[in-house]
Chain A
Amino acid sequence: MPIGKLESITAPARATARESPLMPREVPDPLPMLRQMLLIREFDERIIGLRAGGDIYGAIHPYVGQEAVAVGVCAALTRADRVTSTHRGHGHCIAKGADIKRMMAELFGRIDGYCKGKGGSMHIADFSVGMLGANGIVAGGLPLAAGAALAAQLDGKRQVAVCFFGDGAVAEGEFHETLNISALWSLPLVFVCENNLYGGSSPIDVQHRTTDIAVRAAGYGMPAVSIDGNDAMAVFEAARAAVDRAREGDGPSLIECRTYRWHFHNMLRATIPAETRPSTELAAWRARDPIARLASALLSRRTLTEEGLTAMRMQVRGDVDEAIAFAQASPFPGREALLEDVFAASCCHPARACGTHDE
């Protein structure tokens, strides 16, 4: 099968009779997509300062530079579709429709966070919008997404699942196992590889003999494309083809999105990590800014004005300000929360049952 061409994921003909609220729009409105990309960038640029200032704890992995992938893919999904994400997951959350107030509260470790402050950046989830969770383990979310796809296949409600992962995950066994089993069972699943050329801080050619991720799919009998991951509309087109294919019961496909992260791999303490990548490489990729690209296309088509763009930037800044204020106002969880949520409510905590922690 052809590799690296959009045509290799053949979308089935869409029968009008099958259109339903579950189906996404044929062509998405690019303005909300642009706004979402701006919001992701604003959110993840702002958290760097908040981490440096000690308002956020632990590790953060900014998604800046990769916004077109999350937004392009999620524009092809409905609310009922499900996604799993990675350690660099804020963009996927926002694109799938999560509330940035509750995301920020989670980063602040507060009770109004999505996980009541128990998960932090790497575990944000919002089941109500089909966001099944970021994940601190490289490739850890792939089998979970395949499970969601299995549930969707059994339910027969034409839902699909998407797993986002990086080029680093391709070296993990869970990647290969999940491609094989999902192709074997024709699961309604879309593999979205964000190839940002680095697994952690290690360059892709240090990790893979074959740095072309899309070719891996052929070994599992699965169509794949390799696309410019900084072109939101190209990502949407590829995702729509793959999602349609999955929705029609024709099985999984893989989309390799070539992209680049603008910042460090992660920030674990107050200091911003030093840049280790070549400055020429960084400059070349910054010149391919996915936001500037979509914005200039819309400006030249007069779908957007400069004033409109400025207003949009101000708006997302205000949204993130609001999210920060919400997070700051939210209390920290009380000590009683420590023992809650380990097990479903119907069950007692084993520590309580055995009486070793009488709190």
Chain B
Amino acid sequence: MSRSLSFAQALDEAIAEEMRRDPKVIALGTEFTGKLVQQFGPQRARLTPISEAAFTGMGLGAAACGYRPIVNWRSVTFSFVAMDQIVNQASKIRYMLGGQADFPVTFRCTSGGGLGLAAQHSQSPYSIWMHLAGLKIILPSNPADAKGLLKSAIRDDNPVVSFECVRLNDAIAAVPEGDHLVPLGVAAIKRSGTDVSVVALGYYVQEALAVAQALARRGISVEVVDPRTLVPLDVSTIRDSVRKTGRLVVVDEAPPTCSAAAEITALVVEDAATFRALRAPVERVCGIGVPIPYSPPLERAALPDRERIEAAILRVLHEPASGSTRS
């Protein structure tokens, strides 16, 4: 059984369910969506001052003392104010201390552009966190995964960062009833295909699916792989798909330099069996490496779109561009 929920509702539901399930789950943030304070009271749903470094570190400290805090930075932009606590403390503390304690804290943030919020509030910096050993990272692409991954993140005994694409906030789709969990580190084949693998991240999963559907009408079979978790990354599902299709396009709105798309590409080409299966160079469709501009035509030009995704797919298939998805 399932019902339709928006991405935002699914995330709210995940938090409410986990707070109901485990009294050690608490929430810290400058603002809450849903009815957290009414449901769980101001002791467990703590509205904080705008002090990201303090409440990020407090989440970690409370995690060290038996709690499972959910720290909401709201936009990932604000997490940069707390970089010491994320980079120097959260990602390293378990290892530095020789594993003598666990730090089950979940950091939530919105990410991505497309809403005209300009450079500071349109960032997708997950690769910065991927680069640090010690943080898990989830990046859901639909309401069901958002709920299931966030619930797993809260139950995980490690610091987990949940990147929630702003453009997915109002996306509505079916979410299973009950205790719906999606394991961390397991990718999903969102559409099976045989001609080309498209590994898409976050918001761009739905865009890749739309392109795949359009190309199917032309007899091109596109497989869409959604990693869902960037750390740990389910590289075997990605490699298996590429070995099957022989072609890879990676789609993400973060700029390509030192990105998740770069890492996925490297993990594919450095594996001998997968490399030998490749029949075309790998293509990356990424955001342009500039601070995301405000003006709508410029912002559109900076972010990937269906045309660019389709063009990349056709290039790896050595097909001429046709504009079948052009609106």
Q: A177–B51 contact, CB under 8 A?
A: yes
Q: A151–B84 contact, CB under 8 A?
A: no
- With a CB–CB cut-off of 8 A, which chain B residues contact A346? 156-157
- With a CB–CB cut-off of 8 A, which chain A residues contact B26? 154
State whether the Cβ of B98 lies closer than 8 Å to any Cβ in chain A: yes
- With a CB–CB cut-off of 8 A, which chain A residues contact B134? 342-343
State whether the Cβ of A347 lies closer than 8 Å to any Cβ in chain B: yes
Give the complex CA separation of A117 and B99 in angstroms. Answer: 11
Q: B233–A347 contact, CB under 8 A?
A: no
**When A115-B98, A143-B57, A147-B57 are in contact, do A181 and B49 touch as well, CB less than 8 Å?**
yes
**When A347-B157, A348-B232, A356-B270 are in contact, do A146 and B57 touch as well, CB less than 8 Å?**
yes
Give the complex CA separation of A301 and B246 in angstroms. Answer: 86
Q: Mark A22-58, 1 if CB is under 8 A from B, else 0.
A: 0000000000000000000000000000000000000
Give the complex CA separation of A278 and B26 in angstroms. Answer: 51
Q: B58–A181 contact, CB under 8 A?
A: yes
Q: A342–B94 contact, CB under 8 A?
A: yes
State whether the Cβ of B314 lies closer than 8 Å to any Cβ in chain A: no
Q: A181–B51 contact, CB under 8 A?
A: yes
- With a CB–CB cut-off of 8 A, which chain A residues contact B235? 353-355
Chain A residue with minimal CB distance to B270? A356
Q: Mark B53-64, 1 if CB is under 8 A from A, else 0.
A: 111111111111
Give the interface centre of B96, B134, B231, B236 by most chain A CB atoms within 10 Å: B96
**When A342-B134, A343-B136, A347-B158 are in contact, do A152 and B65 touch as well, CB less than 8 Å?**
yes
State whether the Cβ of A144 lies closer than 8 Å to any Cβ in chain B: yes
State whether the Cβ of B67 lies closer than 8 Å to any Cβ in chain A: yes
- With a CB–CB cut-off of 8 A, which chain A residues contact B66? 151, 155
Q: B96–A354 contact, CB under 8 A?
A: no
Stretch at the interface among B85-93, B109-117, B297-305: B85-93
Chain B contacts with A in 176-213, Cβ cutoff 8 A: 184-185
Stretch at the interface among A130-138, A199-207, A323-331: A130-138
- With a CB–CB cut-off of 8 A, which chain A residues contact B57? 140, 142-144, 146-147, 174, 178
State whether the Cβ of B327 lies closer than 8 Å to any Cβ in chain A: no
Chain A residue with minimal CB distance to B54? A177
Give the complex CA separation of A149 and B271 in angstroms. Answer: 48
State whether the Cβ of B234 lies closer than 8 Å to any Cβ in chain A: yes
- With a CB–CB cut-off of 8 A, which chain A residues contact B95? 118, 341-342
Q: Mark B231-259, 1 if CB is under 8 A from A, else 0.
A: 11111100000000000000000000000
Q: How far is the CB of A109 from chain B (nearest CB, A)?
A: 12
- With a CB–CB cut-off of 8 A, which chain B residues contact A344? 94, 102, 104, 156-158
Q: A347–B99 contact, CB under 8 A?
A: no
Q: A123–B58 contact, CB under 8 A?
A: no
Number of interface residues of B (CB under 8 A): 55
Chain A residue with minimal CB distance to B52? A177
State whether the Cβ of A95 lies closer than 8 Å to any Cβ in chain B: no
Q: Mark B264-277, 1 if CB is under 8 A from A, else 0.
A: 00010011000000
State whether the Cβ of B43 lies closer than 8 Å to any Cβ in chain A: yes
Q: B97–A151 contact, CB under 8 A?
A: no
State whether the Cβ of A290 lies closer than 8 Å to any Cβ in chain B: no
**When A140-B57, A181-B49, A347-B136 are in contact, do A133 and B97 touch as well, CB less than 8 Å?**
yes
- With a CB–CB cut-off of 8 A, which chain A residues contact B43? 154
Q: A147–B58 contact, CB under 8 A?
A: yes
B232: contacting residue among A117, A118, A354, CB under 8 A: A354
Interface of B is mostly: mixed
Give the complex CA separation of A180 and B184 in angstroms. Answer: 36
A343: contacting residue among B46, B158, B270, CB under 8 A: B158
Chain A residue with minimal CB distance to B64? A132
- With a CB–CB cut-off of 8 A, which chain B residues contact A140? 57, 84-85, 88-89
**When A347-B136, A353-B185, A353-B235 are in contact, do A146 and B96 touch as well, CB less than 8 Å?**
no
Q: Mark A47-81, 1 if CB is under 8 A from B, else 0.
A: 00000000000000000000000000000000000
A148: contacting residue among B62, B100, B233, B270, CB under 8 A: B62
Give the complex CA separation of A150 and B57 in angstroms. Answer: 11
Q: How far is the CB of B82 from chain A (nearest CB, A)?
A: 9
**When A154-B43, A353-B185 are in contact, do A119 and B94 touch as well, CB less than 8 Å?**
no
State whether the Cβ of A306 lies closer than 8 Å to any Cβ in chain B: no
Give the complex CA separation of A154 and B63 in angstroms. Answer: 12
Give the complex CA separation of A88 and B35 in angstroms. Answer: 44
State whether the Cβ of A197 lies closer than 8 Å to any Cβ in chain B: no
Give the complex CA separation of A16 and B46 in angstroms. Answer: 33
State whether the Cβ of A243 lies closer than 8 Å to any Cβ in chain B: no
Q: Mark A141-166, 1 if CB is under 8 A from B, else 0.
A: 01111111111101100000100000
**When A151-B66, A180-B51 are in contact, do A119 and B158 touch as well, CB less than 8 Å?**
no
Q: A116–B89 contact, CB under 8 A?
A: no
- With a CB–CB cut-off of 8 A, which chain B residues contact A178? 51, 54, 57
Give the interface centre of B43, B49, B93, B267 by most chain A CB atoms within 10 Å: B93
State whether the Cβ of B321 lies closer than 8 Å to any Cβ in chain A: no
Q: B97–A125 contact, CB under 8 A?
A: yes
Chain A contacts with B in 255-305, Cβ cutoff 8 A: none
Apart from A150-B62, A181-B48, 5 more pairs, CB < 8 Å:
A118-B95, A140-B85, A180-B54, A181-B51, A353-B234
10 tightest A-B CB contacts, nearest first: A147-B61, A143-B57, A341-B99, A115-B98, A151-B65, A344-B157, A177-B54, A147-B58, A177-B51, A144-B61
A to B CB contacts below 8 Å, 23 in the list: A84-B61, A114-B97, A114-B98, A119-B96, A127-B64, A132-B64, A140-B88, A143-B57, A143-B60, A143-B85, A146-B57, A147-B64, A147-B65, A151-B61, A151-B66, A154-B44, A177-B49, A181-B55, A340-B99, A342-B94, A353-B185, A353-B233, A355-B271
